[in-house]
């Protein structure tokens, strides 16, 4: 693998905005020419998962999207979503909302009483979420239909925020209203420090392919750094995203589900180094740690949320269908962890047996 040799000054600018240099061991992690980020994912990128990704080479993470209204009205669950620990720094908070005044007040209050600008280095505004329960309120990607309002929201957030503000959006609402380039220019004019573009329309949801040509047009249209997002599932697809779009950083969402190791894989590809896939044992050990830390953060009843993660961690492993059936019947966190441990140990001894038989036959 040849790696990605070109140094992009906008990537350097992002490393500074993210304050990557502040993290322990940062030197080793920022050796990469471009930042590699974990995308915000509602119901997935909680504190425990963010930590696992940071430890495996991810440069920057965001909280799950948080309702500006929820924070405004001091909703306890919403406040929990923004709590970040030392081990996940640097980290950004992502907000969604459609009222510039509420966004401004929320950002102000966020830094007055809930987080410090030492802990949170970016406020991101979600203008890309396609979920009907979000867009029906005029939030998320619905704002792509109202770029003037989007501009006011960004301006209000920038005015209120002691840290840089960014915006994450899509290609457009639908194929007949593709406006990412115009939207990016508005974001830049309104004071956004960088933008993230997911190369799909809202109507596509997650179907089809992310449009890299579109991301390239956005990169060429603005002076602020652009983060490329969509369909990065391997080191190779990360290189393709960089080479075809000229983006300043990469953001990974679904590719990290059950595979926080993907950040090491991408870093290796960027540096032209060989990458060895983690063993089944390493993947299952990570799954066990994920369960333990998730449950310790959210309470023992939250173990049910780990089912989907277990399905992702064990995807493709022999016996994973049966394991999933048992996981779905589990009634507490201890049984769940014990089940994964037993599965890991069975797989280990099976692999050892197969290898020694193979060696005897050679
Ligand atoms: C389960 C799930 C939850 C998501 N939640 C958010 C969110 O809270 N905020 C956001 O901006 N995007 C969210 N997204 C979109 C992703 O951040 C990302 O833009 C999209 O999945 C495309 O990237 P990918 O191809 O790497 O998955 C979510 C995506 C998924 C699959």
Domains, the chain, in order of start with CATH, read 9-271 (3.20.20.70), 280-361 (1.10.1200)
Task: Ligand 1, residue 255: give the atom nearest the CA.
Answer: 26
> Ligand 1, from 37, 38, 40: best to mutate by most atoms within 8 Å of Cβ?
40
Residue 253, ligand 1, Cβ within 6 A:
yes
The confidence score (pLDDT) of residue 23 equals 56
From the CB of residue 147, how many other CB atoms can be counted at a distance below 10 Å? 18
pTM of the model: 0.95
Instruction: Quote the CA–CA distance of 330 and 339 in Å, as a whole number.
Output: 9
Instruction: Quote the CA–CA distance of 330 and 336 in Å, as a whole number.
Output: 6
Phi, psi of 200 (to 5 degrees): -130, 155
> Would you give the end-to-end CA distance of the chain in angstroms?
32
Query: What would the pLDDT profile of 25-69 be if each residue is shown by its tens digit?
Result: 444 555 788 999 999 999 999 999 999 999 999 999 999 999 998
Query: What would the pLDDT profile of 185-234 be if each residue is shown by its tens digit?
Result: 999 999 999 999 999 999 999 999 999 999 999 999 999 999 999 999 99
Which pLDDT band, with edges at 50, 70 and 90, does 82 fall under?
confident
Average per-residue pLDDT for the chain: 93
**Which of 20, 129, 247, 330 is an active site residue?**
129
As a residue count, the chain comes to: 362
Query: What would the pLDDT profile of 133-182 be if each residue is shown by its tens digit?
Result: 999 999 999 999 999 999 999 999 999 999 999 999 999 999 999 999 99
Has residue 265 got a pLDDT over 60? yes
Phi, psi of 250 (to 5 degrees): -120, 140
To the nearest whole percent, how much of the chain has pLDDT over 70? 95
Taking the centre of ligand 1 as the mean of its atom positions, its distance from the CA of residue 39, in whole angstroms, is: 6
Residue 44, ligand 1, Cβ within 6 A:
yes
The confidence score (pLDDT) of residue 22 equals 53
Which pLDDT band, with edges at 50, 70 and 90, does 107 fall under?
very high
């Amino acid at each position: 693998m040849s790696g990605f040799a070109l140094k992009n000054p906008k990537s350097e600018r992002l490393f500074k905005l993210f304050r990557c240099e502040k993290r322990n061991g940062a030197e080793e992690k920022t050796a990469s020419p471009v930042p590699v980020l974990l995308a915000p994912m509602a119901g997935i990128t909680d504190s425990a998962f963010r930590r696992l990704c940071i430890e495996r080479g991810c440069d920057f993470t965001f909280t799950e999207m948080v309702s500006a209204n929820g924070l405004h009205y001091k909703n306890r669950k919403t406040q929990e979503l923004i709590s970040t620990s030392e081990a996940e720094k640097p980290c950004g908070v992502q907000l969604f909302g459609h009222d510039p005044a509420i966004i401004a007040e929320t950002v102000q209050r966020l830094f007055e009483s809930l987080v410090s600008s030492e802990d949170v280095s970016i406020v991101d505004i979600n203008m890309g979420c396609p979920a009907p329960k979000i867009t029906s309120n005029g939030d998320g990607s619905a704002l792509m239909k109202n770029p003037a309002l989007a501009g006011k929201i960004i301006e209000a957030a920038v005015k209120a925020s002691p840290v840089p503000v960014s915006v994450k959006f899509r290609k457009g609402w639908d194929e007949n209203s593709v406006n990412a380039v115009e939207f990016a220019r508005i974001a830049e004019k309104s004071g956004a420090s960088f933008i993230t573009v997911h190369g799909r329309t809202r109507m596509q949801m997650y179907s089809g392919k992310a449009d890299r040509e579109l991301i390239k047009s956005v990169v060429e249209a603005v002076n602020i750094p652009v983060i490329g997002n969509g369909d990065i599932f391997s080191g190779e697809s990360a290189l393709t995203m960089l080479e075809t779009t000229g983006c300043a950083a990469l953001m990974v969402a679904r590719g990290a589900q059950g595979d926080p190791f993907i950040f090491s894989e991408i870093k290796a590809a960027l540096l032209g180094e060989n990458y060895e896939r983690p063993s089944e044992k390493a993947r299952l050990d990570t799954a066990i740690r994920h369960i333990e830390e998730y449950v310790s953060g959210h309470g023992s009843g939250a173990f049910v949320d780990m089912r989907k993660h277990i399905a992702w961690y064990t995807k493709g492993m022999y016996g994973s269908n049966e394991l999933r059936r048992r996981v779905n019947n589990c009634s507490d966190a201890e049984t769940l962890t014990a089940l994964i441990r037993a599965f890991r140990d069975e797989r280990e001894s099976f692999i050892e047996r197969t290898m020694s038989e193979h060696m005897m036959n050679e």
